[in-house]
Structure 1
Amino acid sequence: MVLWSKQGVSVRKLEAGDADHLVRWLSDPRVLEYYEGRDRPHDMAMVQEHFYRDDQIEACIIQLDDRDIGYIQYYPVDPEEREVYGYGEGDGRIFGMDQFIGEPDCWNRGIGTRLIQGMVSYLTNTLQADKIVMDPQTWNARALRVYEKCGFRKIKLLEKREWHEGEYRDCWLIEYSAANGEEK
């Protein structure tokens, strides 16, 4: 089921047959450098365990002109994460999202910008998100540039937030606020 499509980029729900793509993408050191870590290549069992759970995470596939090129997930931020991030009940509906483009030939072509813009529009307009948050690692300058271009802003440093390649890495909590109206 396609959730949205814009300028050749679309997002559809994850299907059972997508596991082979995830294994291939998450076995590629070029992808793992940015997502999960090069010391964590995924086999089929890991993909099944991590991506085919029955929880509140909406797992999806990114497509470019009907070619499967990556993975994106979104989810309502749970009360524990809201507290860590410094949000209260008055902050409204908050969604988190994580993504990667698994086909390196699709990097540095503006696809990530179109993806994030489309996903922000979907979450704010269709799911009525008040805020969207992500926590990219601080060293991932390319991703941070894309997110900032799409209206996200740095909120706070999350020290030693994510285990990546043998050490805890700092991340930025970044936020898109629908009240600012960039995508509505």
Structure 2
Amino acid sequence: MTVLRGASVVLRPAVGEDIPALAAIRATPEVRARWSGGDAPPDLEADIAEDLEDPATRCLTIEHRQRIIGMIQWYAEEEPDYRHAGIDLYLDPAVHGKGLGTDAVRTLARHLIDVHDHHRLVIDPAADNAAAIRCYSKAGFRPVGIMRQYERGADGTWHDGLLMDLLATDLVR
């Protein structure tokens, strides 16, 4: 995969050398609460290395001003009658609220639509993650519905998720 350039971010294939910086971001309380149900795996670096080795998921390091600020990943459902791609990401809390997440999502969405010919993309933030929902909405994602008791939280209880999708015609370029 080639390097993707957004208005402010660069998305490039994640490599082993990125793991310490990505683990540091995943270890922040804000990211840990959303990305791993609040429980940090015993070895975040090993967990990220496993993500990078998963052939079904493409992991891209997000850079801003030549600094690693997070990771965005995508997968594809290739069954012809249900073909679509899904996106997930996390960002360093130090850059939250600056539009960099929207830029990363928009950049990857454009690539998935224009290069991989996906007509539909999905993303599934926690239903109470208003900041993420605003971010994805700015890129053109729309709410589809609540997925009840979708993910287990750090407290062991189940929490709702919001399924959002974006059709190729909805992408805010």
Question: Structure 2 length as normaliser, TM-score?
Answer: 0.89
Equivalent residue for 1:84? none
Q: What is the Cα deviation at residue 42 of structure 1?
A: 5.3
Equivalent residue for 1:26? 26
Percent of pairs with identical residues: 27
Q: What is the Cα deviation at residue 174 of structure 1?
A: 0.5
Q: Please say if 1:169 is aligned against 2:170.
A: no
Q: How does 1:115-154 map to 2 (within 5 A)?
A: 115-154=104-143
Q: What is the Cα deviation at residue 172 of structure 1?
A: 1.1
Equivalent residue for 2:64? 64
Q: Are 1:23 and 1:42, in contact at CA under 8 Å, matched by a contact in 2?
A: no
Q: What is the Cα deviation at residue 52 of structure 1?
A: 2.7
- Seen in structure 2, the aligned counterparts of structure 1 residues 129 and 142 have a Cα distance that, compared at 3 Å, is same
Q: Distance in 2 between matches of 1:52 and 1:113?
A: 23
Q: Please say if 1:45 is aligned against 2:46.
A: yes
Q: Are 2:146 and 2:160, in contact at CA under 8 Å, matched by a contact in 1?
A: yes
Q: Are 1:136 and 1:144, in contact at CA under 8 Å, matched by a contact in 2?
A: yes
RMSD across aligned positions (CA): 2.0
Equivalent residue for 1:36? 36
Q: Please say if 1:112 is aligned against 2:101.
A: yes
Q: What is the Cα deviation at residue 17 of structure 1?
A: 0.9
Q: Distance in 1 between matches of 2:42 and 2:64?
A: 23
- Seen in structure 2, the aligned counterparts of structure 1 residues 122 and 170 have a Cα distance that, compared at 3 Å, is same
Question: Structure 1 length as normaliser, TM-score?
Answer: 0.84
- Structure 2: which 5+ runs fail to align? none
Amino acid at match of 1:8: S
- Structure 1: which 5+ runs fail to align? 80-87
- Seen in structure 2, the aligned counterparts of structure 1 residues 181 and 29 have a Cα distance that, compared at 3 Å, is closer
Q: Distance in 2 between matches of 1:113 and 1:54?
A: 25
